[in-house]
Amino acid sequence: MRIVFITSKLNFTRSGGSVEEIDLMIRILQSLGHQVTAITAFSSANDIPASVPYRVITEYIGSGGLIHLQKQVWNLLKKYEPLADVFQVDGHLFMYGAGLYRMRGGRIPVVAFMNQFLTCWPQYISSLFPQSAVSFLTRLKKRLRWLIERTIGVYLANQVDRFAFVSPHLRAMYEGFGIRRGELVVGDPIDWKKIRRENQVNPDSYQKRLKTDGKIFLFYSSRMSPGKGFDIFLQAFSLVENKDRFRVVLGGAGPEAAAVREMRDRLGLAPYVELPGWVTKAQLYQYYKEADVFIQADWWPAGTSISLIYALAFGVPAILPGGGGLAWNAKGGALYFPYRDCPALARAIEQMGSDPLLRAKLSRGGNERLAEDEMNYQLQINKLAQVMQELAGKSPAPVVATGARYQQRVSDWLISGVQSMRYALTEPVKLRIARWRFGHRYRKPELNPLVSIAMATYQRGQLLMERTIPSWLNQIYQNFEVILVGDRRVDNTEELIRKLGDPRIRFVHLPEYTRYPPDMKSRWCVGGAPAHNLALRLARGLWIADGDDDDVFTPNHLASLLRFAQQGDYEFVSAVYIAEKFGEPVIIDVKNELPRIGGVGTWFYRSYLKLFPYNVHSWRKSYNRPRDIDRQLRMYRAGVRMGFLDEVVTRVLPLPGLHTVGLAAREEQYGIKLR
């Protein structure tokens, strides 16, 4: 297979770990028998001191704005099509141009490697260093760029064939921005085994040099740029009581180097903190060989760290902010403190300095982390190679019937783009207005508020009577109403509801027939949206329970969700549910998803969130097409306060005659492949 990498530069002297990652990926892909070529787009920044075992083509696309850059990438992809069976591009820089290339008929599949954040996102800053004022015009330009990338850019990016992320946290951040869900995670491909071999380090090296007395060497080195944590490190160390017990080395150079030196001197830390400036790889590795503790005091929460992987390779225990990408990197190899909590970091430093057994334990934990599959770069790059082979057609999958597949049109792109921009601009504002108008109703939780169960239904009268309605009537919490809206299809649902004789359950027809998209998958994505929106408008309750007309609520469904929402002051809550698939109950707890939002059958929220309607055009998008995913992500991005209840509140059962649920059930029903 011929693989062409398009990357920004190959600077092995002064660039960060991203160049190491690209180089290692190419070398391993070559060892698997593939022919790999690297194309550098900003080749004036190249520095390749030794020959590399792969072909490097230099291009000079020049500086320019976002549109210029993506156009140039598109040109590069077109130019080098004859050399490639599959392309890999630096995703944070080139994914829009790559998506444009595929949308405009580019014939070579593209994988986007994602290891950085986007320029349009709010930049992570050093919170304790002085920041220059940002003008209103600059803020406005940044906001407009964010909106353009969030709408048009994301649409283009989702035309790329596959994404490969360095961590699940970074993947979740991009998913929250609109990139399609469930893409590959390959970790940071850093050859830590080679680092160990060349430096004669093994898993026991740290244990053999473990200090029980003498000065404890605290080390951190990175580019001194915003958000890297040098300010947090210095502020925390200034709070350490017995500073004489420590030696501190902060390596690196960059735009905040002067601020680091000024802060060190201002806090009186010059006798304890060395600032050697930029260090060579040989000097860097020597510091790791000697260090007792590695401290990365700050970084953007989804970010990972090559410096941290070096520390794990040398067996050095770490102190890190908890809960983000750094914690995913290290797992049991670090002691954690809350983000930007300097007193907590100071306590962690004192604890690590006085407890050699803790340092030894964390060193072992770091070795165990490196032994896991997630950190096995050879295994992860092999997985990436398999994905590339499938895309390039080298390992064809069995041919299955797919049915008629809808081809997205320009009108779909325009309508979905305008709709997404409208939601992004207006819904956060509407949410703030709704909180101002209606928030007072929730400040003192009512003991027995009315809950509206709002649902759409379609020719399922008998199923409602046998399965769904009994689960409503068996609720522990009984102060509810039900609004069922039918999609103007003829069956006996209305008659059955009338015979039931329960005034709490209302059935309403849509005033007109709904025109759905032509293909089956698109209909599945958006089915019931107009009827569900009418049900929301008719709801009178203070709270709304959502769901589908074949869901079964557990008896504690309303009571548990209401209590959880009130106690946590949440605007929106969801929970665990059980889906029956081929006779087996499967617990769906979405514990590995960010944001953690349960299925629509578990949704429970304040009534003013009716301002977020189901998007009847979500099927037109190229990503996050199902209407419930579209709606939940819009709520999340607008800032709705969300909670997740670790309790089963709903059962999702197959329709009569089927064996599974969701899109797979539609495939089973019609005997065709829709994904």
pLDDT in tens, 621-633: 877 789 999 999 9
Question: What's residue 402's pLDDT?
Answer: 38
What is the rounded CA–CA span in Å between residue 564 and residue 411? Answer: 43
- Has residue 672 got a pLDDT over 70? no
Question: What's residue 166's pLDDT?
Answer: 94
Q: Model's pTM, two decimal places?
A: 0.65
Helices 627-638 and 168-177, axial angle in degrees (round to 10): 100
Cis peptide before 109 (omega within 30 of 0): no
pLDDT in tens, 609-652: 999 999 999 888 877 789 999 999 999 999 999 999 999 999 99
49-53, 286-290, 498-502: least confident range: 49-53
Q: What confidence tier does 401 reach under pLDDT thresholds 50, 70, 90?
A: very low
What is the rounded CA–CA span in Å between residue 377 and residue 372? Answer: 10
Would strands 184-185 and 216-221 be described as parallel, antiparallel, or unpaired?
Answer: unpaired
- Has residue 585 got a pLDDT over 70? yes
Q: What confidence tier does 478 reach under pLDDT thresholds 50, 70, 90?
A: very high
Q: How much is the average pLDDT of 353-363? A: 96
What is the rounded CA–CA span in Å between residue 576 and residue 598? Answer: 6
Residue with tokens 């490097």: 56
Question: What's residue 396's pLDDT?
Answer: 35
Q: How much is the average pLDDT of 396-408? A: 44
What is the rounded CA–CA span in Å between residue 378 and residue 30? Answer: 12
Question: For the chain, what percent of residues have pLDDT higher than 70?
Answer: 96
- Has residue 670 got a pLDDT over 70? no
pLDDT in tens, 419-462: 888 999 999 999 999 999 999 999 888 889 999 999 999 888 89
- Has residue 14 got a pLDDT over 80? no
Question: What's residue 507's pLDDT?
Answer: 93
Asked if residue 483 lies in contact with residue 538, where contact means CB atoms within 8 angstroms, the answer is yes
Asked if residue 624 lies in contact with residue 180, where contact means CB atoms within 8 angstroms, the answer is yes
Asked if residue 133 lies in contact with residue 190, where contact means CB atoms within 8 angstroms, the answer is no
Q: How much is the average pLDDT of 463-475? A: 95
Question: What's residue 416's pLDDT?
Answer: 84
pLDDT in tens, 211-267: 888 999 999 999 999 999 999 999 999 999 999 999 999 999 999 999 999 999 999
Spacing of C-alpha 414 from chain mean position: 26
The single-letter DSSP state of residue 407 is: P
Q: What confidence tier does 664 reach under pLDDT thresholds 50, 70, 90?
A: confident
Asked if residue 193 lies in contact with residue 199, where contact means CB atoms within 8 angstroms, the answer is no
Residues near 289 by Cβ (< 8 Å), separated by ≥ 6? Answer: 199, 201, 314
- Has residue 408 got a pLDDT over 80? no
Q: How much is the average pLDDT of 344-359? A: 96
pLDDT in tens, 77-93: 999 999 999 999 999 99
Question: What's residue 77's pLDDT?
Answer: 95
Mean confidence (pLDDT) of the chain: 90
- Has residue 398 got a pLDDT over 80? no
Question: What's residue 619's pLDDT?
Answer: 85
User: Token pair of 213, please?
Assistant: 């007395």
280-284, 552-556, 670-674: least confident range: 670-674
Question: What's residue 468's pLDDT?
Answer: 95
Question: What's residue 123's pLDDT?
Answer: 80
Give me the residues paired with residue 509 across strands.
486
32-46, 162-176, 240-254, 385-399: least confident range: 385-399
Asked if residue 278 lies in contact with residue 252, where contact means CB atoms within 8 angstroms, the answer is yes
What is the rounded CA–CA span in Å between residue 3 and residue 29? Answer: 9
Q: How many helices (H) and strands (E) does the chain have?
A: 26, 22
pLDDT in tens, 137-167: 988 999 999 999 999 999 999 999 999 999 9
Asked if residue 81 lies in contact with residue 108, where contact means CB atoms within 8 angstroms, the answer is yes
Torsion sign, CA atoms 250, 254, 255, 258: positive
What is the rounded CA–CA span in Å between residue 531 and residue 112? Answer: 39
Q: What confidence tier does 467 reach under pLDDT thresholds 50, 70, 90?
A: very high
pLDDT in tens, 293-343: 999 999 988 889 999 999 999 999 999 999 889 999 999 999 999 999 999
